[in-house]
Structure formats: structure tokens, C-alpha cells
Amino acid sequence: MSSDTARLHESVAAVCPIDGVSVGKPGDPSTVRIDFRPEATPERRAAAEAAVKAFDWSDAAQAQWEADRNVPAAAALLQSADPVAQGVRATVRAVVDLLNERLRGIGAAPILEPEILAALAAGFPAGISLPGPRRDV
């Protein structure tokens, strides 16, 4: 199942009991087939059809859905005692040290490790940026 189909399935299943959805042509609601469960009432079937018609097929909506799904997993990883999580935190510390060394070199304020970990756990909301001019290395 493609990820946009998974997102559509999640949207439709939120309003109606279904076994699944099938997408003929992404972005074309008329090619979507919904496999309703027997207990789906006419009202809930109508809500499912409305969800398909209102579905946002854009890349931006898909990216946001994927980011939202990753936030809990990232937060758990960053707080875990698991060796992989410890490796991630050690890598973040090394990157923070290097970044702050570069920021100090251009006279910018340093970024604290907790700020970066919080941004990682939050899924890097739109608009996050680093201070100072861009330098291509």
C-alpha cells in the first residue's frame, strides 16, 4: 500500500468501518474504491465518500502526515536507554559542538543541545532555521 493510500485509508476508517481502500489514479476521487465492512451504515458510508472527496492529495499534506507519524517514535528514541538512542544522542552532541564552534566563529549565539533535541522530537516544525549566513563548504 502506497503511503498516500495508507493516509487515505486512515482518513476514511476514522469515519466509517472499512476493510480497505483502493486507489486507481492518485488525485482522482472517482477512481477510489472503498471496501465497506457489513456494519457500515448508509450515513457512515456517506461520510466515507465525503472524506475521499475532501482528501488532500498534495505532497505537502503527505509530508506533514509522515512527519506527524514520526514524532512519537522520534521522541521515544531520544528518551530511550537503548544503545541506538544513546548513539543518536552522542551524534547530536558532536554535531552541536561542531555547529556551535562555527556559530561562534561568525559571532552568532550558540544553539543548546536541548533545543536541538526538542526540535528533533517535534519533527522540525516549518520555519526552523539556524542563525547566521549560509556557508557552502
Q: Can you give the pLDDT of all 137 residues of the chain as single tens digits?
A: 568 899 999 999 999 999 999 999 999 999 999 999 999 999 999 999 999 999 999 988 988 888 777 777 777 777 788 888 888 778 878 888 998 899 999 998 888 777 776 776 666 554 444 444 444 43
Give me the residues paired with residue 28 across strands.
Answer: none
Cα distance between residue 104 and residue 110, in whole Å: 7
What are the counts of helices (DSSP H) followed by strands (DSSP E) for the chain?
A: 5, 2
